[in-house]
Amino acid sequence: MKPNNELSQQPPMIIFDGVCNFCNRWINFVIRHDSTGLFLFVPSTGETAKHMEKAYAFKTLELNSVLVIDNGRVYDRSDAVLFILSRLDIPIANKINWAYAIPKRLRDGVYKWIAKNRYLIAGKSNACMLPTQATRKRFLN
Which CATH number characterizes residue 45's domain? Answer: 3.40.30
Question: Strand order in 73-76's β-sheet?
Answer: 40-43, 13-16, 67-70, 73-76
pLDDT tens string 77-124? 999 999 999 999 999 988 999 999 999 999 999 999 999 998 888 888
pLDDT tens string 45-72? 889 988 888 888 876 656 678 999 999 9
Model confidence at 127, in pLDDT bands (50, 70, 90)? low
Is residue 66 left, alpha or beta, with left meaning phi > 0 and alpha meaning psi from -120 to 50?
Answer: beta
Total number of domains constituting the chain: 1
Residue 42 and residue 14 in contact, taking contact as beta carbons nearer than 8 Å: yes
Provide the residue range defining the domain that includes 38.
5-138
From CA 76, how far away is CA 35, in angstroms rounded?
23
